[in-house]
Structure 1
Amino acid sequence: MAASRFSTENTGNNYDLVIPWSYVDPTLNDEVATEQHKARRAVRRALSDPDELGTYAIPPIALMTIGALTITQVSEGPWGGHAFTLVGYVIWWKGVVWVFVTCVVVLTVLFYTGNQADRDMTPVLFMAPVGMATAASEAGLITIYGFDMSSRLAVPQIIVGYFASGVAMFMATLLYTVYFHRLLAAGWPAPPKRAGLFILMGPCGQLATAFQLLGESANTYMRFPNTNPQQSSLQSTADSGLNRPTRSEFRNRSHHRRNP
């Protein structure tokens, strides 16, 4: 089956994405060919359903939560230390890359498959911006509570945390527009599915937490003196200048020393 990369084909079940390599190799035997066909069909259906792709943001959320708990609970413990801070730090970076790729794929498939007008769109799609907002909030949490956190570790994480919050806000705004249009066009979902509407609060709540934690982390910026040595030296010079006595005070002190 040859087709353009993001062309669509009406298969009777909404619109499935047809990819150029979705064919069965005729040189294989029947059993292997059948398994290959099933695997390619599953991949094709996954790539054509943004709602299903949104669930792939759940594992990195759990992974980043484990990393944050490792830092806040284990590294601060009596037998923890900086080594567990590094473990949680690496776990967080892996989760950020994973959830960012998921967001890009979800948006791409959403645009190319035309699922904006799909009457079966579910709130599961919001798990992608929730994952990015979770990455931003845990960036602030890790930099605040990480044991022996250095500037080389904290500053890049704060910057990426703000970047993740921006991506989450942009994607959440876009998905809110699409989903509310779906509600206006098709009405409320079926009663068994209405409980899933609580996911709509996820991006807003996580972004609020992220901005608070990242702001507190950025407020403690000067506890990382190695970040900007020039600024630190200037501030120390200014502080020493403020504590330096004036000429009149110096003369009075000299006069008292000479005439006790």
Structure 2
Amino acid sequence: MAEVKLYRQISRHSQKFTWSWYIMPLATLGVALILDNEPHRFHALTTIGKVVYLFAITQFVILTCFVTWRIFTETGWFRRSLSRPSEALSFATTWLSFGNILAGGHSYAQPREGSHLANAMIVFFWIYVAIAYLLSIVLNVLLYTGEDHLMLPNMTPAWMLPIFPVILSGTIASIISTNIEPVHALPILIGGLTFQGLGTLISLLVTAIYLHRLFRSGLPDPGVRPAMFLAVGPPASTAIAMIRLADNIPTSYSYFSTHPNSAYILQVLSVFIAIFFWAYAFWMFSLALLCCLMSFPRLPFHLSWYSFVFPNCGFTIATIDIGRALDSDAILWVATAMTLVNVVVWLFVMGAHLRTAWLGRTLS
């Protein structure tokens, strides 16, 4: 009887978890990454960042256990979940979270060249980009052919989520390519640039539709306005990738050994391209912020509140990278202020989440 009671309790609790919940570890991972990149550091900051990173992994593992339980015990739930547009869009956050775990693991572990961890990261990177590309195709096909089609009047930048794991490929490549042999680094850099370009171009096309929707139908309903911050993510990630991919070019290997000036030219160009995309991200951030502030008193907690955090973590890291590239203390101090705001907002959203769960309200 005890086993049956436990089984029923786990099944009841697992029904509360959907793919949308993965935005929570995604936000926590974003905070861990900005703490690792923070330019103005104190002694315990690395330890704090590692604790936040491990907390994010714990969130990811717990969610994965409950969702896996639901898949194997609730017949047909997996298929039904992917037939609903909101859940099919959110499914991409599972792989996006794994990509951030990969980036954070490399950043905090700092594997040595030729070590087993460094070699494992190389393998994981190619697995990541392959699955990210596959998901971007499959999820979009499901959204195009499902019974419940996405409707333009209800559009938010969440429509970009299927391509988000592809967009992150460039950033992951720029992190993984450090501390490895040039023979492995160069293919990773080229692969990261390839998928970054694909993701950025598709996100620009979706953004055009999103702006068209705003002109035609006005602002989204207050409850879904936090998702407007998702439009900040693609240009911010592109800015990060451009600078870091160029910085990690192995100048003494292959093409770059026979064209010694090309690496320097790309490094200079990457900074100005990053500033271009940073300005684009800032405009999207300002638009989302103003629209959310207009409706904040009427904004009940929803899991989409975590969109206040993770896209803006990428925006903060892009600001840090630009400040370092330009050797600008002013920009770096602005980035530090952005880091503090992101941490405070993350704590606020986590508190609101706990309060909502304590009150027994349903989340999806």
In the superposition, relative to structure 1, how do residues 109 and 179 fare at CA in structure 2: closer, same or farther (>3 Å)?
farther
Structure 2 residue 154 is the aligned partner of structure 1 residue 124: no
Q: 1:221 matched to which residue of 2? A: 251
Segments of 4+ moved more than 6 angstroms = none
Q: Secondary structure at the match of 2:154?
A: coil
Structure with a larger share of its residues in helix: 2
Matches within 5 A, 1:33-112: 39-40=75-76, 43=79, 46-47=82-83, 49=85, 51-76=86-111, 82-112=115-145
Within-5 A mapping of 1:1-260: 39-40=75-76, 43=79, 46-47=82-83, 49=85, 51-76=86-111, 82-112=115-145, 115=149, 117-143=151-177, 145-146=178-179, 149-218=180-249, 220-222=250-252, 224=253, 227=254
Instruction: String of CA shifts for 1:151-187, please: whole Å, max 9, x gaps.
Output: 2311211111111111112210121122223223332
Deviations 1:90-124 (A, max 9, x none): 22222212221121123334445695643233332
* Structure whose CA Rg is larger: 1
TM-score by length of 2: 0.45
Corresponding residue of 2:318? none
Partner of 1:244: none
Percent of aligned pairs with the same amino acid: 20
Instruction: Specify the code of the residue in structure 2 equivalent to 1:97.
Output: A
Unpaired runs of 5+ in structure 2?
1-73, 261-364
SS where residue 188 of structure 1 aligns? coil
* Alpha-carbon distance in structure 1 between the residues aligned to 2:80 and 2:199: 26
TM-score, normalization by structure 1: 0.61
Q: Given residue 214 of structure 2, which amino acid in structure 1 is its aligned partner? A: L
Q: Is the 8 A contact 2:167 2:234 kept in 1?
A: yes
Change (3 A) 1:74 1:109: same
Give yes or no for contact 1:61–1:95 (8 Å, CA) kept in 2: no
Q: What letter is aligned with 2:238?
A: L
CA distance in 1, matches of 2:174, 2:124: 15
Q: What's the RMSD between the two structures over aligned residues?
A: 3.1
| Contact 1:100-1:132 within 8 A present in 2 as well | yes
- Unmatched 5+ stretches in structure 1: 1-37, 237-260
Q: Give yes or no for contact 2:155–2:220 (8 Å, CA) kept in 1.
A: no
Structure with more contact order per residue of length (Cα contacts < 8 Å, sep ≥ 6):
2
Provide the rounded CA distance (Å) in 2 between the counterparts of 1:72 and 1:124: 28
| Counterparts of 2:207 and 2:137, CA distance in 1 | 17
What amino acid does structure 2 have at the position aligned with 1:92? F
- How many angstroms apart in 2 are the aligned matches of 1:109 and 1:171? 17
Counterpart Cα distance in 2 of 1:221 and 1:112: 47
- Whether contact under 8 Å (1:102, 1:128) holds in the other structure is yes
